[in-house]
Amino acid sequence: MTDIIDGNAVAAEVRTGLADAMDALADAGTTPCLATVLMSDDPASETYVSMKHNDCEEVGIEARDYEIDPEAPADELYATIDELNADPSVHGILVQMPLPDHVDEREVLRRVDPAKDVDGFHPENVGRLVAGHPRFKPCTPHGIQKLLASADVDTEGADAVVVGRSNIVGKPMANLLLQKSETGNATVTVCHSRTENLAEKTRAADIVVAAAGVPEMIDGEMLSEGCTVIDVGINRVEADTEKGYELVGDVAYESAKEKAGAITPVPGGVGPMTRAMLLWNTVKAAGDAEGVSVDL
């Protein structure tokens, strides 16, 4: 029987698990606060931000909403970030990507106070992760670690293949799997668009993390019997539905399920975990800022 890893259930556990930390912070007179900054009128980005606000509300985190005209000069965004950095009542800052072309994304990532960088994208936080003492783990790979643990997948000594080398998913995922730690100690291969013989590599893997953004590119033929498959992809493909499309992952679910020992569905796998780990990071940021030890 293939274990279908239920991201919604694990995410609900993560949210419930935040309650003790929230209580400890409340006793110290602190409500964790996440500030989101949106400089886009893309409906998808607007939806992501509003989902993040709803998630915060559900667990008692205060969410503040900052919106900047996408036509405004980049300085307006930088000034907002500076203001939020200086505001002690704000614990986490999330600048919704993508940004307009005239804004220097790298400057934005550098500008957010690393202690409030709940996405974990600031170069200091990236460096800490690589060096093995992370402050904030980026939400998607952190959520995947939780999913692997929930399914009792032993990463120690496992051959793991990460398909994708982006800064937000592939690279930090590979780093976390590589860490000398209980949730790491894997032997990691990172694949990308120039990788040759991808199927040979995925077929030799105990754990495959698919984060390429290519609909259903990994099927059962590319997997070994009993492996664990984590599907990060969220791809819109045309379909005969009311909306005219459906969401599929980077894994051809039905054929992969025949081979895998454990697999995440899309939707309902990695997505809910990404959202839950943002809450986790925000609570951690509040604890760190207020000197309250929160056991997460």
Reduce the DSSP state of residue 115 to 3 states and report it. Answer: helix
- For the question of residue 145 being annotated catalytic, the response is no
Angstrom CA distances, 245 to 128, 235, 248, 271, stand at 40, 10, 10, 18
DSSP 88: T
Q: Counting contacts by CB under 6 A, is residue 189 touching ligand NDP?
A: no
Q: Point out the catalytic residue in the list 55, 96, 146, 259.
A: 96
What is the full DSSP assignment across 262-296? EE--SSSSHHHHHHHHHHHHHHHHHHHHHT-----
Select from 224, 190, 218 the least CA-distant residue to 205.
Answer: 224
Q: Is 165 annotated as a binding residue?
A: yes
Q: Is 234 annotated as a binding residue?
A: yes
What is the rounded distance in angstroms from the CA atom of residue 216 to the CA atom of residue 35? 35
Q: Counting contacts by CB under 6 A, is residue 193 touching ligand NDP?
A: yes
- For the question of residue 154 being annotated catalytic, the response is no
Q: Counting contacts by CB under 6 A, is residue 10 touching ligand NDP?
A: no
Q: How far is the CB of 187 from ligand NDP (least distance, A)?
A: 19
Angstrom CA distances, 237 to 7, 193, 209, 213, stand at 22, 20, 21, 12
**Segment contacting ligand NDP by CB under 6 A, of 52-60, 88-96, 166-174, 200-208:** 166-174
Backbone angles phi, psi at 52, to 5 degrees: -65, -40
Q: How far is the CB of 103 from ligand NDP (least distance, A)?
A: 18
Q: How far is the CB of 32 from ligand NDP (least distance, A)?
A: 21
Q: Counting contacts by CB under 6 A, is residue 163 touching ligand NDP?
A: yes
Angstrom CA distances, 242 to 24, 43, 246, 283, stand at 46, 18, 9, 39
Q: Point out the catalytic residue in the list 119, 206, 231, 250.
A: 119
Q: How far is the CB of 5 from ligand NDP (least distance, A)?
A: 13
The interface mask with ligand NDP, positions 115-144, x = CB under 6 A, is -------------------------x----
CB of 214 or CB of 292, closer to ligand NDP: 214
Backbone angles phi, psi at 229, to 5 degrees: -120, 120
Q: How far is the CB of 65 from ligand NDP (least distance, A)?
A: 21
CB contact at 8 A, 153 and 262: yes
- For the question of residue 96 being annotated catalytic, the response is yes
Contacts of ligand NDP in 229-248 (CB under 6 A): 232-235
Q: Which residues are annotated as a binding site for NADP(+)?
A: 164-166, 234
Annotated binding-site members: 164-166, 234
Query: Which residues are the active-site residues?
Result: 52, 96, 119
**Site residues, ligand NDP (CB under 6 A):** 140, 163-166, 168-170, 191-195, 198, 211-214, 217, 232-235, 270-271, 274
